[in-house]
Amino acid sequence: MADQQQYTTETNYKPTPPSDTSKTDVHFSDISHPKEILSMLNNLRINEQLCDVTLLVGSKKILCHKVVLSAASPYFQAMFTGGLMESQLSEIKMHVHDEQAFSEIIDYFYSSRIDIKDTNVQDYVPIAGMLQLKRLQQACCDFMKRNIDAQNCLGLYEFADSHSCQQLAQVAFSYSVNHFNEVLQTDKFCSISLDFVNKLLSDNALNVTSEERVFEAAVAWIEYDRERRMCHAAQVCRNIRFSLLTPEYLMDRVATESVVRDSRECSDLLMEAIEFRLLPKRKPQSAVAQVLPRKAALTQQILYVVGGMSRREATKSGEKYDPKEGRWKAIAEMSISRFGANMASLGSSIFVCGGGDEASRLNTAEKFDSFHNVWIPLEPMSCKRNGVGVASLGGKIYAIGGFDGSSPLSSAECYDPKTMKWSQIASMSQARFGVGCCVLNGEIYAIGGSDGCNLRSCERYDPETNTWIVIASMSVARKQVACAAMGDCVYAIGGSDIYAVSGTSADHAGRYQTVERYSPDTDQWIMVSPLLSPRSGAGAGVLDGLLYVCGGFDGHQYLNTVEKYDPLTNRWTIGPPMIQSRDCVAVCVATCKRNKRLTTERDVLPRSSSPLTFSSAYNPLNLSNQTSAS
């Protein structure tokens, strides 16, 4: 009885809550829970336990759980919850050609992992498209974009076009345009479709040193299957800018080509060009449109870093990184030293705004012309902004938040290069300095920062409505956070929180090594692979599908190190170090003039070149097969 009385007394005991409940509340989040749930579901499937549907794919029978399929794929969700006949079946036949690829994608549902390779990537894409697996399809397209070369770019364009992979199609097409002379040497060129060859040969940016090369390409494509393609000869030849050909080439080469002689419309094009060249005062209207030269790609993307703290002093120096050369080079110095500034690019110009020097916070801004390697002062901003976020959108430069020397700022303004004036835009929902900013899908994101307390909160700006919208908060507060948009996501990299508890992810005196990624589709942040070293005050930019993070402070020293993140492998690797250590550095990617054209002297077709010879094993436009002019 005594025992019973004791038990009753204990279970009825209700402790008095403390007056400040915030000190005792614990918001527990088990980060291993999702992984363990997936692992358990996969074990149930492997052991054929609680499975309620079998997918029939060729000779394979794949046991699954409807709830997992529905959660992983909108296609299966519609099938099992939309009242379709399949929702009542225990066996469902899947109409796919590659049973191995389909089976591996089902494994991906249960593990969140899949190995994308050259041998399977094109098998995954149509299945991912059918099952509406947006992220997997994007990962496959990113993988193929990373591996584009002259041998496969034409095939990848046709593949991407047929599966509505627009970004991949654009990248593959641009590569074909920029490497046209290399592409012509491949067997694939002469087997591309009529629509594709017209699109390629008509492109204004086609990288050729002479229009003669375009003529030879058109003839080669037609002659590859002359019987079927002669009816399209005029359509293909209209893409050639005959007016750019010399009179000698027109008479010695074009006029003697059988494709031209055997087509009345092609002959008319030749006569118009001859008339244009020999009788310019009587130039026909149709020839005028074909007189402009091609605008071959003469620019490339370059990573720029400027300013920051180095050796406990603000610096005015800057440098640039060309991924093709793999090294950093110094650029012209700014007019004044800046740390805590930020910058963005419009075309070839870089705009750096705000920051501070040893004496004060700055409201000044200046523009760097990368073609001429000079800085040009701009009209000052409406207020001083150190720790400012800067982004470019719609031909304008936006300066967001910052610290004016007395208080954090929620205000924002934009600079219009056409009027050379700053104008106010809507203020953020809260003040932020040390804020990360980037642009994704036509909107500006403001990530973290500090209003006196370091912030987890984030928001985005819609320039169409001039409004800020609060989005999901990050998992931790991040001040001086590097920020960049890549793919369909925003990345928050490193940063600091001096109030973080020692021993957490913010070691090194509160500097973070962690990185998280935000998806607008789900309005959620998830952790990705951490940096190799913690850093705050770093800058970020995207080059060739890789996320570069430059400089910063690790809690002990200013950094000149660079890390590169590959979203396909979720891994960071070391990049070439900067010339100078830089904390609170401004970073962006902009265009730079190429030193030389992509083509070489041997790619240029001789003016009096004779026709190509075609054999049964045709090698398109192989110059070694050309006969000399008679």
The per-residue pLDDT for 354 is: 97
The per-residue pLDDT for 614 is: 28
Q: Please state, for a pLDDT cut of 90, what percent of the chain lies above it.
A: 67
User: Residue 23 carries which side chain, given as an amino acid letter?
Assistant: K
End-to-end CA distance of the chain: 121
3-36 pLDDT, tens digit per residue, is 444 444 444 555 555 555 556 788 888 888 888 9
- pLDDT greater than 80 at residue 307: yes
The per-residue pLDDT for 507 is: 52
* pLDDT tier at 628, thresholds 50, 70, 90: very low
How large is the average pLDDT for residues 398-407? 96
CA angle 395, 401, 404 (to 5 degrees): 120
The per-residue pLDDT for 284 is: 52
Q: Which domains does the chain have, with CATH numbers?
A: 32-147 (3.30.710.10), 193-278 (1.25.40.420), 299-500+507-593 (2.120.10.80)
The per-residue pLDDT for 208 is: 80
258-262, 286-290, 601-605 — which one is most confidently predicted on average? 258-262
Q: How far apart are CA 378 and CA 351, in angstroms?
A: 9
417-464 pLDDT, tens digit per residue, is 999 999 999 999 999 999 999 999 999 999 999 999 999 999 999 999
User: Which of 52-56, 391-395, 396-400, 544-548 is predicted with the least confidence, judged by mean pLDDT?
Assistant: 544-548
183-208 pLDDT, tens digit per residue, is 887 889 999 999 999 999 999 888 88
How large is the average pLDDT for residues 522-548? 93
Average pLDDT, the chain: 86
Q: 162 vs 55, 189, 190, 196, 419, CA distance in Å?
A: 26, 17, 19, 12, 44
What does the DSSP 8-state code read for residue 596? S
- pLDDT greater than 90 at residue 366: yes
- Helix count and strand count (H, E) for the chain: 19, 29
- pLDDT greater than 90 at residue 294: no
The per-residue pLDDT for 184 is: 84
- What's the predicted TM-score (pTM) here? 0.68
Q: 192 vs 172, 221, 333, CA distance in Å?
A: 14, 9, 49
Give the length of the chain: 630
* pLDDT tier at 260, thresholds 50, 70, 90: very high
Confirm if 548 and 531 have CB atoms less than 8 A apart.
no
219-223, 398-402, 504-508 — which one is most confidently predicted on average? 398-402
- pLDDT greater than 90 at residue 212: no
How large is the average pLDDT for residues 573-578? 93
User: Which of 43-57, 286-300, 543-557, 578-592 is predicted with the least confidence, judged by mean pLDDT?
Assistant: 286-300
Confirm if 471 and 518 have CB atoms less than 8 A apart.
yes
Look up residue 616 and give its two tokens.
Answer: 């049964």
Confirm if 347 and 364 have CB atoms less than 8 A apart.
no
- pLDDT greater than 60 at residue 604: no
Q: How far apart are CA 460 and CA 599, in angstroms?
A: 43
* pLDDT tier at 595, thresholds 50, 70, 90: low
Locate all alpha helices (DSSP H) within 179-263, ordered by sequence. Answer: 180-183, 194-202, 211-224, 226-229, 233-237, 247-249, 258-261
Name which of 400, 401, 408 is nearest 453 in CA terms.
408
- pLDDT greater than 70 at residue 175: yes
How large is the average pLDDT for residues 144-161? 93
Q: What is the CA radius of gyration of the chain?
A: 31
Q: Please state, for a pLDDT cut of 70, what percent of the chain lies above it.
A: 85
* pLDDT tier at 127, thresholds 50, 70, 90: very high
**3-class SS of residue 336:** coil
Confirm if 270 and 277 have CB atoms less than 8 A apart.
no
519-530 pLDDT, tens digit per residue, is 999 999 999 999
Q: 215 vs 192, 238, 272, 335, 540, CA distance in Å?
A: 17, 10, 16, 51, 44
Confirm if 241 and 290 have CB atoms less than 8 A apart.
yes
Q: In what order do the strands lie in the sheet with 318-322?
A: 327-331, 318-322, 299-306, 586-593
Q: How far apart are CA 588 and CA 250, in angstroms?
A: 47
